[in-house]
Amino acid sequence: MKLALALMVLGAVACGSPTPAPVVGSPLSVPQLKFAVMDSVGKPVYCDPDFYPVARVGGEQANAVSMYAQIKADAETYAAIVAHEHLASGDLTDAQKLTVYRAWKLLRALPLTPQGNEYPFQYRIQSSTGSAAYEMVSGTVRVDGVVSVTSRSATGAPNCPICLAASMMIATPGGPVRVTDVRVGTVVWTQAADGSRIAAPVVEVGSMEAPAGHMMVHLVLADERELLVSPGHKTADGRAAGTLQKGDQLDGSTITTWQLVPYAGRRTYDLLPAGATGHYWANGILLSSTLA
């Protein structure tokens, strides 16, 4: 009787002790965990450079083909995409490469950072219920793929950057200045209404956090000037960088390279000089301010 009572007490104490849920299945790779989250919660809503600010004819398919080798070189990510999308392991058609590319963009738009045997997540999805168009969903995914949602809240559309990379240099009378160091009052070169170059103080600066998976346009001119800028940023003649293409004329030269590249920076930047145009030179290329 004493032994039975002791076992009952021990059992009661054990049942009352909080213990974390055990990991049941085999640990998954990070890309597999991201797919587990998306399958459970929904696909992330993000600033897709192939369609923001405007879609380029054939642009997404062309980028899918050009990016295929780079995506395939990441064996872990590629294997997860092929398995999730039920694709063949051999050579793929261009249509299948587009499927791979679209899945790769979604994976990039969903950041996961490990904490113990879990990965917390927080990202925006298209809402399927209620009056809000978008929801911000938070939760965790365990290393074996078990997803737990902790909160959902109404939110707005993603704020897509249309500004410069942090490495861009702005032309000033005293020499090039990194865009991150430009302040209100900094004197820069701007374009007057008659097209001449004049010095003027900066009247406004702006900075925006770059969302996960943000892509930038990297373009190179025949005279070796080059630029790294968000697809929505406009040139001095009003064209968005995302609509340009190889062979186009830009600021007195010809574009010899145009490609979308992942952005490693955390923020994008812009400035507005005083004067009639709001134009300035970044890496020697005349651009229009988005703050005008």
CA distance 233 to 4: 76
- pLDDT at position 213: 77
Domains along the chain? Answer: 30-155 (no CATH), 169-288 (2.170.16.10)
Q: What is the pLDDT of residue 232?
A: 86
CB 242 within 8 A of CB 48: no
**Cβ–Cβ under 8 Å, residues 70 and 165:** no
Kindly report the length of the chain.
292
- For residue 60, give the 3-state DSSP assignment: helix
What's residue 5's pLDDT?
Answer: 38
Cβ neighbours for 291, distance < 8 A, ≥ 6 positions apart: 204, 205, 206, 270, 271, 272, 278
Residue ranges, the chain, pLDDT below 70: 1-25, 53-58, 130-132
Residue 6: per-residue pLDDT: 40
Contact 286, 229 (CB under 8 A): no
Tens digit of each residue's pLDDT (9 = 90 or more) over 173-231: 999 999 999 999 999 999 999 999 999 999 999 998 887 778 899 999 999 999 999 98
Dist. CA 267–CA 159, nearest whole Å: 12
Which two structure tokens, joined as six digits, stand for 256? 């010899």
Which pLDDT score, from 0 to 100, does residue 23 have?
A: 59
Q: How far is CA 101 from CA 3, 25, 104, 143, 221, in A?
A: 64, 29, 5, 25, 27
pLDDT of residue 97: 97
Q: Per residue in 227-252, pLDDT tens?
A: 999 988 999 999 989 889 999 999 99
Here the tokens at position 243 are 């609509």
> CA–CA separation, 120 vs 118, rounded Å?
6
Q: In the numeric block, which tokens belong to residue 113?
A: 């950072």
- What's CA 116's distance to the chain center, in Å? 26
